[in-house]
A and B are shown apart, each in its own frame.
Chain A
């Protein structure tokens, strides 16, 4: 089977940098995705790593290491609007989501 683990909650202050980790177990997958979900909203796609290494999209970066079964999402210059839940997801023949990390950004 496939499973993903994330910290349940992370807190940080505006302007800071935060890293949300994701460890996984799987027999095979194409890549690792990250989604953001605000309270009451739909999950929205943030980034995808098909290959090992770092992908950068503005203030957000995502990293994948297949040898370590590990990935992370890095959020820089945190803003209040970044307060949301963040999910890593394995892309195999379907998307399998982790249980999510709730990020709270304080002023």
Chain B
């Protein structure tokens, strides 16, 4: 079992829908990161969080430390949101990231 599990692996939705991507982890962490990778493109860091909730535009990330779970939400989704979303954690005492397998999101117009 991977230390970081994402669900779903693939998600297709219509423009305007509310999107939720989930991430569960099994180790104690000092921070959790959400990353975005567009097809053929580089990786961009969306959020880093260790507690609570963060919001940036139409993106919201939440984390529940007790339940070892985080969610990434996209409101009013748009085709340009189509990308792979990756959850990653830095475990306590470690400086490296452990990555989930990613969620491939496709938003159809």
Q: Answer whether A and B are interacting partners.
A: no
